Structure 1
Amino acid sequence: MTAPAGRERCSRLLALGDSITVGVGDTVGPDAEYGPGWAAHLATVLGMEAFTNLASNGARSHDVARTQLDAALALRPRVATVLVGGNDVLRSDFDARLTLTDLHRSVSELVRGGADVVLVRLPVIGLFELSPRLVRHVMRRRVAAINAAVDEVAVAVGAAEASAPGPGNGPKSARGRVVVVDATQAIASAGAKAWHVDRVHPSPAGHRRLALAAATALADLDPAYLAALVPPSENGAVSPASTARKATQFSPAEVGTGTPRAAALAALLPEAPDPPSVWQRVVWLLRAGLPWCLRRGRDFLPGLLRAVVHDLRAERAFTPGGMLTSFADSGLDPRRRIGRG
């Protein structure tokens, strides 16, 4: 693998997670060095020497912690991305406390291994935004519970690493850090075009915007990443080379507040295809969408019905909008934290 002209490369980016990180919903051409998916695009933007995608379709948080993590630690990545929880919220045995435990183990071990970790908050699942109010409410709360776990893990791991002594785990400088990226905010600028036809995964535009948000977050975390993201020209200004071909895809407001950096970042992304036509969407729905709903529904619907009933009972038992109500069916009690009973 060779580096694009004028850009220095760093080492390895490694991706853990589920089908979103696999790249479902994305489409790429021959200019996509590492293939489809937001994490692959992030590796391209950062100029990584190598990219390894350990994510798998259908993976849940325990799959990341018990299977993907061991392979990740053996590869000693410079940067690791973790986006998981979408399949957890779609299952009848959903328990956000278990996701919290799995995330904490995965992120803390990656950080101790020296990786900077991009931890991603789940987006609202577009498919369920089209559902009846009670279903939509339950799914939003489940996603919110996962995101509460993401935030708690980021704080807990950051605090633990800040207070950890150097001997035993290596010097503090050898340890990584954690940055959180909100997927909903990252893809919001694309509107309805942010979603794949299944309304569960990001579209090509959504994947690219998530990659840009992660790249910007890493650059804000460490100026060293900025040198790889936006190479300066000879006079010290941001080089305009190759930015023109992406100018029609992203405006500065869509990819960040710094106009030069935003344009330079967008220029490094592979080209995105045109969105599918209405006819293509209908064909996909008949061939893939409905069969998927039937397969998943056998497990998911009973749990969803129980969650809706639980939600109705919770609204009667607690003040609407209160903390306990909002976490009633999530399994994540806000009064319990990592390391407590």
Structure 2
Amino acid sequence: MTPPAGRERSFRLVALGDSITVGVGDTVGPDAVHGPGWAAHLATVLGAETFTNLATEGARSRDVVGPQLDAALALRPHLATVLVGGNDVLRSDFDPRHTLADLHRSVDELCRAGADVLLVLLPVIGLFELGPRLVRRVMRRRVASINAAVEEVAASAPGRVVVVDAARAIAPAGPRAWHIDRVHPSPTGHRALALAAAAALSADPAAVGPAPGFENGVMDATASVTNTTPFSAAEARGQLPDAPEPPSVAERLVWLLRAGLPWCVRRGRDFLPGLLRAVVHDLRAERALTPGVLRPRVSRPTRSAAAWRR
């Protein structure tokens, strides 16, 4: 995981995105050199001398392609991480085409500026997994549309793009991977995502330009990355700040009353009308289906978090 010779003192990493990258749900102490959040932990594992977290809470894709992208390009990073879309799917005006266009521009400009890009596939939002079946289906479809946009952007990017599946990265941690709000990763989840990202980048984390076998934005499936640095998950985990114990039942209850319910009320004013329209649209579509014709199903990503084709 050591950056190539000549870059040890100048390896720059920037992070773009929303509250997950800000580090909501994570807890760190003074031993966290770069602060909280999975991207900060990734910077620690990669040995980045300079880490700048440009993510903001509540950010949507338009915020990434706007002020965050401008600031990132000015920093001339070797590696940029982009995780966005979670707030887009929670809005009544959600349109995956807008997110796709924003991601295309962001990734293309970062690549043309000489940066490698790490994109993250969204996991399903656990909070809505507690809701009725129709709500779960709508939210899963929205998340799946964001992930399809991520895959499309990665496939056509003019440089090296690595895709990480957040759901698979943190799944081994089970329920401990999630913060109380079931929207953000917990300290354990943030660290698991950082390690998965580090494993994906272990071949050459600070390389600028296309990876071996990457020609004109397409990865040659027959090519092999030969100049790799062995990645040790145990060694990388030892570099991360310790994760605290999960909150007690009493602490969860206090959080729910002080922060959880107020957040649901604030966000619900905008989100619920759009969600209800989406559910009604689903019901009408089901009734319009021809008998015997199967409804398309939203499938979960099946690629391993460490098996990259880009």
Tell whether the structures are fold-level matches, with TM greater than 0.5. Answer: yes
**Equivalent residue, structure 1, for 2:308:** none
Matched, 1:279 2:253: no
Residues in 1 aligned to 2:160 and 2:266: alpha-carbon distance in whole angstroms = 39
Letter in 2 for 1:290: L
Moved over 4 A (4+): none
Q: Following the alignment from structure 1 to structure 2, what is the Cα–Cα distance between the partners of residues 142 and 115? A: 29
Q: What whole-Å deviation, never above 9, does each CA across 1:54-105 have from its counterpart, x for those lacking one?
A: 0000000011001110110010001100000000000000000100000000
Aligned residue number for residue 135 of structure 1: 135
Compare 282-291 and 311-320 and name the one that shifted more: 311-320
Q: Compute the displacement of 1:201 (Å).
A: 0.4
SS of residue paired to 1:284: helix
8 A Cα contact 1:38 1:208, kept in partner: yes
Counterpart residue number, 2:195: 212
* TM-score in terms of structure 2 length: 0.83
Identity of aligned residues (%): 75
Indicate if the aligned counterparts of 2:121 and 2:147 stay in contact, CA closer than 8 A.
yes
The aligned counterpart of 1:51 is: 51
Q: How far apart are the structure 1 equivalents of 2:145 and 2:286?
A: 17
Query: By how many angstroms is 1:322 displaced?
Result: 2.2
Shift of 1:317: 3.1
Is the contact made by 1:11 and 1:78 (CA closer than 8 Å) also made in structure 2?
yes
- 2:3 aligns with none
- Indicate the residue corresponding to 2:37 in structure 1: 37
RMSD value over aligned CA atoms? 1.9
Number of the residue aligned with 1:315:
286
Structure with bigger gyration radius: 1
- Does structure 1 residue 181 correspond to structure 2 residue 153? no
- Equivalent positions of 1:12-27 (< 5 A) are 12-27=12-27
- Whether the aligned pair in 2 keeps the contact of 1:9 and 1:46 (CA below 8 Å) is no
| Contact kept in structure 1, 2:12 and 2:50, CA below 8 Å | yes
SS at match of 1:48: coil
CA distance in structure 1 between the aligned counterparts of 2:287 and 2:33, rounded to whole angstroms: 54
Q: CA deviation at 1:262?
A: 1.5
Normalised TM-score (structure 1): 0.76
Contact 1:82 1:119 in 2 (8 A): yes
* Pair 1:87 & 2:61 matched: no
Alpha-carbon shift at residue 181 of structure 1 (Å): 0.3
Give matches, 1:1-341, under 5 Å. 8=8, 10-157=10-157, 161=158, 176-220=159-203, 222=204, 261-318=232-289, 319-322=293-296
Q: Is the 8 A contact 1:9 1:47 kept in 2?
A: no
Paired AA for residue 213 in structure 1: A
What secondary structure, in the 3-state scheme, does the structure 1 residue paired with 2:189 have? helix
- Answer whether contact 2:78 2:206 (CA < 8 A) is retained: no
Deviates more, 1:55-64 or 1:311-320: 311-320
What is the CA–CA distance in structure 2 between the aligned matches of 1:100 and 1:264, rounded to whole Å? 36
SS of 1:312 mapped into structure 2: helix
1:108-139 CA distance string (max 9 Å, x none): 10011111100000011110111111101100
Shift of 1:268: 1.3
- Cα drift, residue 316 of structure 1: 2.7
Aligned length, in residue pairs: 269
Tell me the distance in 2 between the aligned counterparts of 1:206 and 1:14: 20
One-letter amino acid of the counterpart of residue 215, structure 1 = A
Report the residue type matching 1:307 in the other structure.
Answer: A
Structure in which a larger fraction of residues adopt helix? 1
Structure 2: segments with no counterpart, 5+ residues:
1-7, 208-228, 300-310
Partners of 2:150 and 2:169 in 1: how far apart? 16
Amino acid at match of 2:19: S
Shift of 1:223: 7.2
